[in-house]
Each structure stands twice: as C-alpha cells, then as structure tokens.
A and B are shown apart, each in its own frame.
Chain A
Amino acid sequence: MSETPMTRAASATPPSVARRIKGLSDRAIAWIFVGPTIFLLLAINIFPLIWTVRLSFTDYKANRAGREIKNVGFRNYERILNDSDIWLNMQATAHFLFWTIFFQVLIGFTLAYLINKKFKGNDLWTTIIVLPMMLSPAVVGNFWKFLYQPQIGLFNYIVAFFTGKDPSSFEMLGSVDLAPWSIVIVDTWMWTPFVMLICLAGLRSIPDYIYEAAEIDRASKLRQFFTITIPMVLPFLMLAVLFRGIENFKMFDLVVQLTGGGPGSTTELTSINLKREAFEKWRTGYASAYAIILFVTVFGLASIYVKALNKVKER
C-alpha cells in the first residue's frame, strides 16, 4: 500500500490515543479540534459583548461588587445622547478623524507617486519614510511632547523660523485652538507612511503597457493621471482610509501621551472619555451603553464603506 498523509497520520498516532478516538466519526473528531478555539472565542469575544449589552441597561458599578444592581432601561442611552459634553467629544473625534485621514491620504499618495518614479536611491527613501510607523506610540508621544515644548521644542523653533513669531509665544499642546491640530500633526507624521505603502502597492500594480497604450491614444499626462492612475489606485486608497479610520476611531495611546485629553477636554476623543467613565469614575453601566453606541457607529459606518469599496473594486 502506498503511503498517503492519511495512513502516515494513522501510523503515527500513539496506541493510547488511537484507542480513545476509535469509533468517533470524522465530524466528532473535527469538533474536538475546533472546539477549544470556539470556546475561547465565545469566552473572550462573544460573551463580553453580550454581557456589555446587558450591563448597558443597568446602573452597575464594577468597583462596588456587592451593591444591588438596578435595571434602568434605556436611561443610560438617553443620558449619553443628550449629554452635550459627549457631543463635544464626538466632534473632537470627528475633527481628528477627518483631518488625519485627509492629510495622510494627500501626503501619503503624493509620496507614493514620487517614490514610484524610478530614481536612484528610492529604496533608501522608502525605508527612511517608513521609519515613524515602526516606532512605539509611547515613544512617539513622548518625543513629540519635547518637540512641542515652547521654550526648547524644535517644532516651535521651525515654525518660528518660517513665520517670524517668537517660539515661546504659542503652545501647541497647551492652547485650546492648537491642541486638536497638534495631535493631527503627530498622527499624520506617524501614519502617513502606512498610507504611502498601500498607495505604492496600488501604483506598482498598474502595468507600464497601460501607460504606453494611453500615450499612443494621445492622452495627456494629466488625463492619464485622472483616467488611469486614480481609478486604478482608488480601491487601495479606500482600503487605506478604512484601516486608518478604524484605527483612529479608537485612538488612545498617542493622545494620552501628548495631551491626556486636555486642555479642558479639547482633545478628549471618545475612546479617552470612555476610559474615564469606565475606569476612573467606575460608571460601568453607563460606560457600557457608551461603548455600544460607539460600536454601532463604527460598525455601521464601516459596513457602508465596505459596500462602497466592493462596488469600486467591481468596476
């Protein structure tokens, strides 16, 4: 008899195990293999989700375990949606999301377009540009804090050099007007390379002969850019936006390092606000409702977006 993977597996099974699984159907054996994974998935993903939904209808506080839990119905949801402070957090998040994605796509695509032109040393440049992405957010947050320092910070000096202002006359992290932009700048600095890499993959997927055909068809460089480059990179670009959008919706580490949500609550993104409600104020039930609202928002937006993405890809 020739040796197949099946017979090899059979002969490699120890007799004690073989005795135990004897008589089990293939289906039963499959369940034994998949079972632990399903169990873990249920235990650490699905159950907490369901439990959070349940808690969102109560006034449960996780630091007072003995206290009686009261059902409050939709009161948590009502309070959140009517809370003007939370709407401010939402606005801060929207501001952060919109501008980070805007700048990252704009700069990322431009860099990818330039790097894609074949020139000497473009591999080296790619590596240099990609570096920020490789750093830990804690490190990035920390050294940007120094760069933003009004007295000694390099950032202030560079801005001062170009605008003629006094470097210590403005505080990126301390001023209500500038702080939201300071986190946009850092996130853009750190994550533009990611968008660039995805765009670069898109640009490299366009074969040269298509441009040659367009050249013969007398399309100008500008028309080639808009009728060939952009449409063919678009699916990649949209994917980059999706990734960055989801990532930045739950932005926490960088901003906590930089501003801690301040000054006031101008850079208090929803994820930071949520963490405060849940683990500083210990309003677990309220925070659960908050989390569910955010989850539904992200999930809803992402689903619509993925549908649009698929449509673009089919085109």
Chain B
Amino acid sequence: MAEVVLKGVSKSFGDTVGVADIDMIIPDGAFVVLLGPTGAGKTTTLRLISGLEKLDQGEVFIGGRRVNDETPAQRDVAMVFQQYSLYPHLSVRENLAFPLKSPILNTPEEEIIRKVEEVASVLQITHKLDNKATALSGGEMQRVSIGRALVREPQVYLMDEPLSSLDAKLRTDLRIELKRIQANLGATILYVTHDQIEAMTMATHVGVLDEGRLVQFGTPRDIYENPNSVYVASRLGQPRINILPGDLFGAAPKGAHQIGLRPEHVAQGEGRAAQVGRVEHLGDHTRLHLRLDGHDITTLADPHADYEAGAEIKIAPRDPLCFDATGNRIY
C-alpha cells in the first residue's frame, strides 16, 4: 500500500471545471472519504488518480512515484465503479478472477481459486459464482464489482459510492468488512460517498469538495466540529446544521453574519420562545422541528418527554459556530 499525493491537480472538460487546483495528501493506510454534491469533482478526482483521465495540470504521486504519464495498469490501482462495470459475457467467478489473470501478476491457478473463494465468501456471493454477471441483482453486481477490486493488493483502492445500491443490512456488514480490510491490510482507500454514516464511521480523513475545489480536509471529527465554512458545515450532520441569522438570539456575536447550530447545540428552557412544529419519535431520541421568527430549527430532545405540536418551548444557542457574510467561519 502506498501514500497518494495530489499537487495542484486540475482538469476541465471543455468549459466545465472538473477539479481545480487540488492539493491533498492521502497517507499510507488512510481511509479518505470525499464528500460533496453531484458535480463537485469527486468521481473526476478518482479517475485522475486511476489514470483513466489525463491531468490538465498538476502532479500525482503514488508511493512517492510521479505517475502523470503512467497508464492505469502501471499505476497499480483498483477501482470500484459506480455503474458496476462487470464483464457481461463472463461468469461471476471469471469476473473476480479477471484482475488476477493479468500477466503482470502471474498468479498461480490455485492461488486464484483460493482468493476468489475467499472474497466471494466475504461478500456473500459464493452461491452465485457460476452465474453469468448479467443474471444478478443490482446489489449482487455491486458486490462482484467490489470483489474484483478486493482480490488484488493494489497501491490504492478507489471506490466510487460502492455501497449505494445495497440494502441496509448488507451495507452495514460491508462497511464493517471494508473497515476491517483497511485495518488488516493497511490498505489505502479513497472513497466517494453521499452517506454521512459511511463517512463518519469509516473515514480516517474526510475531504470536502465544492465545484472542483478541495475546501477542507481533516479528520471526520474535525470536519464536524470545526467546519471552515457554512458549505462544509452543511455537508456533515444528520439532521443538518441549523444556519440562522446572527442576531436571532439577541445581539450577534462580533462580526457574525450567520450562526450555525448543530441540533445538539440548542439549549432548552431558556432564551427565546419557539413553536413546536413537528415531533419525530425515533426511539433512542426525539427530533423536534421548531419555528422561530420564520426560521426552521431542528433539535434533539429527551425521548421520554412529551411535546405537543403548537406548544412553545424556550431555546438558546450553545457554542454556536460563527460565519461571516460570505459563509466563511470566523470562530
């Protein structure tokens, strides 16, 4: 496994900016999650590292080697594509064995069989090994596609929303499995997802992309607790952070145009009276949707307390994040 370094990486498609001037260090053995809305450049970043896309500017290093002019094969990366990309004319077994049959690796036949069986059992597709790749459900195809990456031991794994089409249970299983593989093998993984739980539970680092630029890079906890802009703050957290006018609770903190309040940072029983809109009982906790001067505020509440829609409760901010007029964090 290896460290991956991006230096000033840019790529445009005609007039559309794919990624712009990205600097990022993915440490050896790290599990880096890229977050961002559609079109932010997450997939492009993966494709640039894999070599499927040529750089316009900048440099990519894998394991200290400059790989700008190398083919995907020379770079030795494994990739899980969003759209599965299985070989439709081959069986599941042949699909899984395909990367191992590369003459570069020269894997002995018994070794191939052993690895394929092993990966298939991890992904729970052993009973489908002899099926044709096209005779599978979406989730099974997704697993074969992950398996095709896992049979190898590449410099880096690139994964483009690999768990997005799986059912909840399997997703949880594979999340744990991927994390275990990363920990055991010391694998370097760059992972694109929309799923905030995946990001928080698996990542050692999170990179947030906005219109092709890397706007923040750090540990998940750092990104959650210390976002450097409204944009980053809105990417993590479920329910989303409440972005409110700075002066909603009396005088605004100095220079603050907006304040950001995570649901757990709304103190109850003091401050201004807000109206209860909707109450969601989720079992282990309760979500309250409040309304204050025309602003929606979501907060958490004691699961045992009873709230009536239309009732009034007093709320006050606790440790708010303060942002200036352009959305950048002040303190």
Contact = CB atoms under 8 A, between A and B. Distances in A.
Contact of A209 (B85, B89, B102): B85
Contacts of A227: 87, 98
A215 B72 contact: yes
Nearest to B53: A212
Contacts of A215: 51-52, 71-73
A235 to B, nearest CB: 9
B79 to A, nearest CB: 5
B72 A209 contact: no
Interface string B63-105: 0000000011100111101010111110000000011001111
A213 B87 contact: yes
A220 interface: yes
B274 to A, nearest CB: 50
Contacts of A209: 81, 83, 85
A212 B89 contact: no
A83 B126 CA distance: 61
A213 B81 contact: yes
Contacts of A214: 87, 98
A64 interface: no
Interface string A211-230: 01111111110010001100
A220 B103 contact: yes
B142 interface: no
- Grouping DSSP codes into helix (H, G, I), strand (E, B) and loop, the A interface class, with mixed when no group exceeds half, is helix
A210 interface: yes
Interface residues of A, number: 17
Contacts of B229: none
A216 B72 contact: yes
A227 to B, nearest CB: 8
Chain B interface extent, by class:
20 to 34
A73 interface: no
B99 A218 contact: yes
B81 A212 contact: yes
B205 interface: no
A228 B73 CA distance: 17
A50 B144 CA distance: 56
Contact of B98 (A212, A219, A231, A315): A219
Contacts of A232: 88-89
Given A228-B87, A315-B89, A217 B99 contact: yes
Contacts of B132: 315
B143 to A, nearest CB: 15
Interface string B46-59: 00001110000000
B148 interface: yes
Nearest to A212: B52
B81 A218 contact: no
B72 A218 contact: yes
Contact of A217 (B71, B83, B98): B98
A107 B99 CA distance: 32
B52 to A, nearest CB: 5
A214 B79 CA distance: 10
Contacts of A213: 79, 81, 85-87, 148
B79 A231 contact: no
A216 B98 contact: no
A284 B44 CA distance: 73
A232 B78 CA distance: 24
B50 A216 contact: yes
Interface in A163-177: none
Contacts of B87: 210, 213-214, 227-228
A292 B220 CA distance: 80
A315 B52 CA distance: 29
Contacts of B81: 209, 212-213
A216 B102 contact: no
A216 B103 contact: no
Contacts of A219: 73, 98, 102
Contact of A218 (B76, B83, B85, B86): B76
A227 B97 CA distance: 13
A229 B88 CA distance: 12
Kindly name the residue among A210, A217, A220, A232 whose own CB sees the greatest number of chain B CB atoms within 10 A. Answer: A217
A220 B85 contact: no
B158 to A, nearest CB: 8
B145 to A, nearest CB: 8
B103 A210 contact: no
Interface in A222-246: 223, 227-228, 231-232
Contacts of B102: 217-219, 223
A218 B148 contact: no
A214 B85 CA distance: 9
A209 B103 CA distance: 21
A220 B52 contact: no
B79 A216 contact: yes
Contacts of B72: 215-216, 218
Interface in B192-232: none
Contacts of B78: 216
A219 B52 CA distance: 14
Interface string A265-306: 000000000000000000000000000000000000000000
A215 B77 CA distance: 10
Contacts of A210: 85, 87-88
Nearest to A217: B99
Interface of A: 209-210, 212-220, 223, 227-228, 231-232, 315
A-B pairs with the 6 shortest C-beta distances?
A218-B73, A217-B99, A213-B85, A218-B102, A209-B85, A215-B72
26 contacts: A210-B85, A212-B52, A212-B81, A212-B85, A214-B87, A214-B98, A215-B72, A216-B50, A216-B52, A216-B73, A216-B78, A216-B79, A217-B99, A217-B102, A217-B148, A218-B72, A218-B73, A218-B76, A218-B102, A218-B104, A219-B102, A220-B103, A227-B87, A232-B88, A232-B89, A315-B89
